[in-house]
Amino acid sequence: MQKWKKNIRDIEPYVPGEQPQSSNIIKLNTNESPFAPSPQVKKAIEKYDYEKLRLYPSFVCKELKGALKDIYNVEEDEIFLGNGSDEVLALCFMTFFNSGKKILFPDITYSFYDVWCRLFNIDFERVPLNDDFCIVKEDYYNENGGVVITNPNAPTAIYMEVSEIEDIVKNNDDVIVIVDEAYIDFGGKSAVELIHKYDNVVVVQTYSKSRNLAGIRLGFAMANRELINALEAVKNSFNSYTVSSLSQVIAAASARDVEYFEKCVNEIITAREWTVEELSRLGFETLPSKANFIFTTNKSISAKELFDFLKSKGIYVRYFNKPRIDQYLRITIGTKEQMEELIKAVKEFLNK
Amino acid sequence: MQKWKKNIRDIEPYVPGEQPQSSNIIKLNTNESPFAPSPQVKKAIEKYDYEKLRLYPSFVCKELKGALKDIYNVEEDEIFLGNGSDEVLALCFMTFFNSGKKILFPDITYSFYDVWCRLFNIDFERVPLNDDFCIVKEDYYNENGGVVITNPNAPTAIYMEVSEIEDIVKNNDDVIVIVDEAYIDFGGKSAVELIHKYDNVVVVQTYSKSRNLAGIRLGFAMANRELINALEAVKNSFNSYTVSSLSQVIAAASARDVEYFEKCVNEIITAREWTVEELSRLGFETLPSKANFIFTTNKSISAKELFDFLKSKGIYVRYFNKPRIDQYLRITIGTKEQMEELIKAVKEFLNK
């Protein structure tokens, strides 16, 4: 063994869904949007003066923060931007979870949380969801080093009311509560209003899902100024410029196109409700979803076998070989046509 | 004080050069290029199908790695891409410096290194440059937890021969040696050939300087597969997708335009030599530069006063109020016309 080897960080990373390159694939495995970004994005790219790329991106990001400010009713200095919400969350973990006490998050939730804990040496405890896969707010009232709630939760898609989030925030006034709202736009209500009522809550959102812009890497956090300043200091101790100039311009253009945004989100919701209904006729039980994906099971079949069958038909969904959820599939909601193809393939599997 | 406050990370961040917004400014303070990116970048942006932005960026980055592979004579799996070389370096620090021993870097060098050490709790020792502001290779032969060399060094601009870098690598076979080559294209020779001879060296470069693309945030590391795999695992424990789809396409287009690249670099070198000569006539001593900036002093004047005067004239350069270098200015090399303006203003200051 090489002598330097013992000092190399050895870590089990987060594994994202597969990214098949073929264009014949129906890709329902990574919760991307089936729709193109806003046409305003196209215009913004065309209008952009590429010569400006010789300069570092704007440090203050005034244009983008200005656009977000109006949507969320917050001030510019209550917004923190990052290179995807994964970066924002990673920096939040580094900034806020330094008590030495265990932080709490559900046993079934976004699987990056424990990866960040291991990366940053943060103790954690997975709090079991109840038998209906719901978060029980009282389970988060014990002494802890911080709380992370995904709302709607992933991969369950189950939404929690803001009043319940508020109870968790209120009962944890000595630590920071992070609300990861990656999927909030598909029927839920953001907890962002809480940031003006409580100084210990951070709301994180992304442009990868409801904004159809996974490719630009843009996530953001909203919280009171003091928390944002602390995040900025840690970010500036890691990488001064994390959001590329073009991503800033593109996200700002998308943010301002409310009409297109609502149209896309509504089409996803309609396709979701249709899919849940169709699956129900085929014997599937689907957890109540307010996300752009569903989590579904059918007691009479093997989820893994259905997953493999769909893949052989060119339909990629997500399967987690983990306790409690190994009979479920997570299926991203695509276009109505894609969901029709999915249902057709599921029927074929059932009739084999 | 709020109860949560004691667990918030409190850190002194890296402070980048000012980013004035006025277009009347001659901006010679952050080592950006005065030239537009390659015209191929413009074409690549125009040709890009914006609908693809709905998807996550490519995980394997084949197009960009393919372009880099040919330039540096390395394999694709010997390349690691990141969101600017600052992110690449930060992830290197996390991945490679876990021995508990002090890592070594010069007392005068890129001031982000000690910020990363504090962020990741890495012990470090600043090794003094000699009286000529040169790195003395033998000073890095003692037991240590790793070595970081910027070549050419910043803000001194002084270049070290690859043979000397090799001696440092050879004499540190139990740790990782990082060679930060942000400025290597302006007259130096990359140490990248060493990665096939030694398994403990990592060479880091950026598209922010010689590629005129600071706005896209693209940096990369080259090393043997095992080190690259370790870096990938840490990256994937932090943020799965760090380089935006557009940045990948833009960097690949730029990489292939060798002719434009060489033209820009040669113009910078010519303007640099002219500037050094002119300053010498005005009594300045400039350290020998192989970078796109110079580090210069004039014993008969106060560097800070000249800095303030230039700023009042709309010419931004960089001043570091630090021991040993507080009588120096770091001046980015702009266009010939910009350097003529600089010299005019310096003359005005001297004749006051």
Residue A208's φ and ψ, nearest 5 degrees, are: -80, -25
Mean pLDDT value across residues A92-110:
97
Closest-CA residue of chain A to B51? A36
DSSP B175: S
Contacts of A121 (CB under 8 A, 6+ apart): none
pLDDT tens-digit profile of B116-166? Answer: 999 999 999 999 999 999 999 999 999 999 999 999 999 999 999 999 999
B9 touches chain A (CB under 8 A): yes
Test B240 with A14 for CB contact under 8 angstroms.
yes
pLDDT tens-digit profile of B211-257? Answer: 999 999 999 999 999 999 999 999 999 999 999 999 999 999 999 99
- Tell me the chain B residues in contact with residue A250 when contact means C-beta distances shorter than 8 Å: 53
Test A56 with B19 for CB contact under 8 angstroms.
yes
pLDDT tens-digit profile of A29-69? Answer: 999 999 999 999 999 999 999 999 999 999 889 999 999 99
- Tell me the chain B residues in contact with residue A144 when contact means C-beta distances shorter than 8 Å: none
**Pick among B3, B5, B9 to test the A interface (most A CBs inside 10 A):** B9
**Alpha-carbon gap, residue A184 to A177, rounded angstroms:** 17
Closest-CA residue of chain A to B83? A242
- Tell me the chain A residues in contact with residue B250 when contact means C-beta distances shorter than 8 Å: 53
Q: What share of chain A in percent tops pLDDT 70?
A: 100
**Alpha-carbon gap, residue A229 to A232, rounded angstroms:** 5
Mean pLDDT, chain A, rounded, equals: 96
B241 touches chain A (CB under 8 A): yes
Contacts of B183 (CB under 8 A, 6+ apart): B31, B150, B152, B154, B157, B209, B210, B290, B291, B292, B293
Q: Using CB atoms, which residue from B37, B86, B227 is nearest to A240?
A: B86
Test A238 with B87 for CB contact under 8 angstroms.
yes
A145 touches chain B (CB under 8 A): yes
A334 touches chain B (CB under 8 A): no
Question: What is the Cβ-side half-sphere exposure of residue A321, based on CA atoms within 13 angstroms?
Answer: 5
Test B145 with A7 for CB contact under 8 angstroms.
yes
Query: Hey, which bits of chain A come out as E strands?
Result: 26-27, 79-82, 103-106, 124-127, 147-150, 177-180, 201-206, 219-222, 285-286, 293-297, 315-316, 318-319, 328-332
Closest-CA residue of chain A to B98? A7
- Tell me the chain A residues in contact with residue B232 when contact means C-beta distances shorter than 8 Å: 13
**Pick among A50, A218, A228 to test the B interface (most B CBs inside 10 A):** A50
Q: What confidence score (pLDDT) does residue A1 get?
A: 67
Q: What confidence score (pLDDT) does residue A18 get?
A: 81
Mean pLDDT value across residues B35-39:
98
B111 touches chain A (CB under 8 A): no
Q: Using CB atoms, which residue from B9, B52, B233 is nearest to A95?
A: B9
Taking only residues 253 to 312 of chain A, the set having a beta carbon closer than 8 angstroms to any beta carbon of chain B reads none
Read off the tokens for B290: 């192989």
For residue A194, pLDDT over 90 is answered with: yes
B229 touches chain A (CB under 8 A): no
Model pTM score: 0.97
The ipTM value here is: 0.96
pLDDT tens-digit profile of B247-292? Answer: 999 999 999 999 999 999 999 999 999 999 999 999 999 999 999 9
Closest-CA residue of chain B to A87? B239
State how far residue A173 is from chain B, nearest Cα, in angstroms. Answer: 7
Strands A219-222 and A201-206, sheet pairing: antiparallel
For residue A319, pLDDT over 80 is answered with: yes
- Tell me the chain B residues in contact with residue A233 when contact means C-beta distances shorter than 8 Å: 9-13
Test A53 with B16 for CB contact under 8 angstroms.
no
- Tell me the chain B residues in contact with residue A175 when contact means C-beta distances shorter than 8 Å: 4, 7
Mean pLDDT, chain B, rounded, equals: 96
B33 touches chain A (CB under 8 A): yes
Q: What confidence score (pLDDT) does residue B352 get?
A: 80
Read off the tokens for A284: 């599937």
**Alpha-carbon gap, residue A341 to A349, rounded angstroms:** 12
pLDDT tens-digit profile of B178-205? Answer: 999 999 999 999 999 999 999 999 999 9
B7 touches chain A (CB under 8 A): yes
**Alpha-carbon gap, residue A242 to B282, rounded angstroms:** 40
Q: What confidence score (pLDDT) does residue B88 get?
A: 98
- Closest residue by Cα to residue B146 from B197, B198, B101: B101
Mean pLDDT value across residues A68-80:
97
- Tell me the chain B residues in contact with residue A86 when contact means C-beta distances shorter than 8 Å: 238-241
**Alpha-carbon gap, residue A118 to B168, rounded angstroms:** 33
Q: What confidence score (pLDDT) does residue A24 get?
A: 87
Mean pLDDT value across residues A305-312:
98
Q: What confidence score (pLDDT) does residue B1 get?
A: 67
